[in-house]
Amino acid sequence: MSRRQAGWLLCLPALALLTLAFLWPMAILARMSLNETSESGMLVETVSTATYVKLAEDAFTWQVTRDSLVLSAGCATSALLLAYPMALFLFRTRSRWRNLLAIAAIAPLLVSGTGRVIGWLAILGDGGMVNAALHAIGLPTQHLINNWTGVRIGLTESVMPYTVLALLAGFGRLDPRLEEAAATLGARPLRAFWRVTFPLTLPAVSAGWLLAFVLAISAFVTPHLMGGGRVFVLATEIYDAATQTLDWPAAAALSIYALVLLLVLMLAHGTLSRRAAA
């Protein structure tokens, strides 16, 4: 058996799993999106693009698309801004607490979505810790949950651990000697960071941002649990159509639309970062 054949053979389990767990459901989804829902809510088996046409003609679809993109891009950016110094510190520290800190940084992954939201309510609620502190210094109540602000905070927090991990993985090849070299050549620490370290971490930054963006745009738990019914994004619309109004064709069509949107964005990102690297 040639080396090449062996390589293909080794990929088979993963390919089989991918087919079973992703491609097959996607095919079902694509088929479902071509059905229709009658006025009475009944599922009608047919082959038509009526569901897509209805979605495309509804201004709300475009509003939700815009809101989803803005929300996800914003959360990805803030998650990155928060994660970057943390990841850089974790990468550099020689402290014996390093592992503990690393675990703390990704701890949110270990808590269920619901548990996290209950925690956030205690912190961000109208009677929560933040508002109690604001009242104590004579400031008025800030609405920090059950609105877009709450979703931005919750979503940023929930994607940040992934961003930290992506950055840490990307920092792997960063040579600490480079900043020392810059220092011996007369660069002040901040200057050395901006001229040497930062440019070298750009690929990690770009990958981390994309990961955060993809996770944020497909998240439905946080917008659903922290939005107070005021936040409509693609993922919550899909969830509602699938489980509340039982309009499966609409849920499927929206899913396909979201998938295509993501693929286009990822291709654009790939092209841009390849161009930047060249």
Smallest gap from residue 154 Cβ to another protein (A): 11
Smallest gap from residue 140 Cβ to another protein (A): 12
β-partners of residue 36 are 44
By CB under 8 A, the residues from 61 to 90 that bind another protein are none
Q: Is residue 57 at the binding interface for another protein, with CB under 8 A as the rule?
A: no
Q: Is residue 207 at the binding interface for another protein, with CB under 8 A as the rule?
A: no
Smallest gap from residue 126 Cβ to another protein (A): 6
Smallest gap from residue 105 Cβ to another protein (A): 21
Q: Is residue 235 at the binding interface for another protein, with CB under 8 A as the rule?
A: yes
Q: Is residue 48 at the binding interface for another protein, with CB under 8 A as the rule?
A: no
Q: Which is nearer to another protein, 130 or 246 (CB)?
A: 246
Q: Which is nearer to another protein, 86 or 128 (CB)?
A: 128
- Residue among 176, 171, 157, 161 nearest 205 (CA): 171
Q: What is the DSSP string of 111-180?
A: S-HHHHHHHHHHHHSTTSHHHHHHHHTTPPP---SSSHHHHHHHHHHHHHHHHHHHHHHHHTT--HHHHH
Quote the distance between the C-alpha of residue 189 and its chain's center.
32
By CB under 8 A, the residues from 257 to 276 that bind another protein are 258-259, 262
By CB under 8 A, the residues from 126 to 155 that bind another protein are 126-127, 141, 143, 146-147
Q: Are 71 and 152 in contact (CB under 8 A)?
A: yes
Q: Which is nearer to another protein, 104 or 195 (CB)?
A: 195
Q: Is residue 110 at the binding interface for another protein, with CB under 8 A as the rule?
A: no
Q: Is residue 200 at the binding interface for another protein, with CB under 8 A as the rule?
A: yes
Smallest gap from residue 23 Cβ to another protein (A): 11
Residue in 103, 243, 271, 276 binding another protein, rule: CB under 8 A? 243
Burial (CB < 10 A; 0-12, 13-18, 19+), residue 133, is: exposed
Residues 6+ apart with CB under 8 A from 68: 217, 233, 234, 235
Question: Distance from first CA to last CA of the chain, Å, rounded?
Answer: 38
What is the distance between the alpha carbons of residues 6 and 1, in angstroms, rounded to a whole number? Answer: 7
Tokens at 48, concatenated: 């038509």
Total Cβ atoms within 10 A of residue 164: 23
The size of the interface with another protein (CB under 8 A), counted in residues, is 72
- Piece in contact with another protein (CB under 8 A), picked from 71-79, 100-108, 129-137, 217-225: 217-225
**x/- site string to another protein, residues 152 to 191, per CB under 8 A?**
-----------------------x-xx-xxxxxxxxxx-x
What is the distance between the alpha carbons of residues 175 and 196, in angstroms, rounded to a whole number? Answer: 10
Quote the distance between the C-alpha of residue 263 and its chain's center.
14
One-letter amino acid of 180: E
Q: Is residue 5 at the binding interface for another protein, with CB under 8 A as the rule?
A: no
Q: Which is nearer to another protein, 86 or 231 (CB)?
A: 231
